[in-house]
Amino acid sequence: MTMTSKEVVQRTLNYENPERIAHSFDESDFVNISCTAKTQATDWKKIEPGKWERTDEWGNTWGRLESTSKGEVVKGVLSDISEIDNYVFPDFSKFEDYQTVVETRAKYKDKWIIGDIPGFAFNIARKLFRLDHYLMALVLEREKIRSLHDRIDVLLEDMIRNHAKAGADCIMYPEDWGTQLQVFISPDLWYEEFFPRYQKLCAIAHQCGIKVFMHSCGKIGAIVPGLIKAGIDVLQFDQPDLHGLDNLAEQQKLGKITFWCPVDIQKTLQTKDENIIRTKAREMLDELWKGRGGFIAGFYPDNPSIGLESKWQDIASQEFLTYGTRS
């Protein structure tokens, strides 16, 4: 009997020999859904030729120079750390705001439902200020920043419990921890301030019966063992070659961590060489999936932003599915 998407993903996470590779290209095994809590968020608006802006749920202003990319924060809602105590967060505690999740679960019974949340403490707090101000305050104003992180953790606990109650199979959040060279902060500081928070939130999710998926950009190998130990179930990387497939395979020996990756979007796909792309897809399956699980074949959703025609990722997707299906 053919496994459902949900069964394939569950077996992948458990290293229980799924019949094929789990994947996020068409037809994806996943459906993403967010809650509808009232926030300050707006849609993108074109304010002049070649310039778009939007407001996020926290009140930060985002900008971009084209119509497809995710953009970046250009102005945080807080101008100074002294404003932290008076800042009012959105309310994510009301279960009625998660009916979209309930409806999605009912509609897609055989899919793996991802409840999207906006980040853990670092991803949310760093956007409220300029990044350099936040990183400086993280060192020099630790108690102020810690109190901010504590408040964020409370709202995240609400989101985790409500997503689980509504029927999501996991929560997923973005947390870009590094540059192309290293983690933004010292590993010692990460373990001191953030590791316990990850442990607590992952434990709450697992107690509620759901998994924890995390996306991160950058070279963050220094904290990957901590993320695994804290309880992260899936790490989604768009640049697996930045970490090294052999290094990722070694991390799988620490626990049943699953990596979710496309063929590297900045290195391999940019060759625009079909043989190289197909070879890399097979290598990823050989190194990280091995037929037992532990790997999800990804698809970067914004080809224009990485300067590629869709056919190059289509080639990778074909190879993932062909080579990653049991005969």
Question: Three-state DSSP class for 162?
Answer: helix
| Single pTM value for the model | 0.96
Largest CA distance in the chain: 62
What's the one-letter identity of residue 180?
A: Q
Question: Three-state DSSP class for 110?
Answer: coil
What letters, b where the CB count within 10 A reaches 16 and e where it falls short, cover 30-60? bbebbbebebeeeeeeeeeeeebbbbbbbbb
Give the dihedral sign, CA 240/244/248/249.
Answer: positive
For 211-270, the pLDDT digits (tens) are: 999 999 999 999 999 999 999 999 999 999 999 999 999 999 988 999 999 999 999 999
Return per-residue pLDDT of the chain as tens, 327 residues.
Answer: 699 999 999 999 999 999 999 999 999 999 999 999 999 999 999 999 999 999 999 999 999 998 888 899 999 999 888 899 999 999 999 999 999 999 999 999 999 999 999 999 999 999 998 888 899 999 999 999 999 999 999 999 999 999 999 999 999 999 999 999 999 999 999 999 999 999 999 999 999 999 999 999 999 999 999 999 999 999 999 999 999 999 999 999 988 999 999 999 999 999 999 999 999 999 999 999 999 999 999 999 999 989 999 999 999 999 999 999 987
Residue in this structure with the two tokens 């983690």, named with its chain if needed: 183
Distance CA 66, CA 77 (A): 23
Distance CA 7, CA 110 (A): 8
CATH ID of 5-39+90-323, from 3.20.20.210, 3.40.718.10, 3.40.50.1000, 3.30.920.30: 3.20.20.210
Q: What's the confidence (pLDDT) of residue 66? A: 84
Helix (H) or strand (E) holding 48: strand 45-48
Q: What's the confidence (pLDDT) of residue 135? A: 92
* Cα-based distances in Å from 115 to 34, 150, 185, 268, 309: 6, 22, 28, 30, 29
Q: Where are the alpha helices (DSSP H) in 167-273?
A: 187-193, 195-207, 224-230, 240-243, 245-251
For 267-304, the pLDDT digits (tens) are: 999 999 999 999 999 999 999 999 999 999 999 999 99
Q: What's the confidence (pLDDT) of residue 132? A: 86
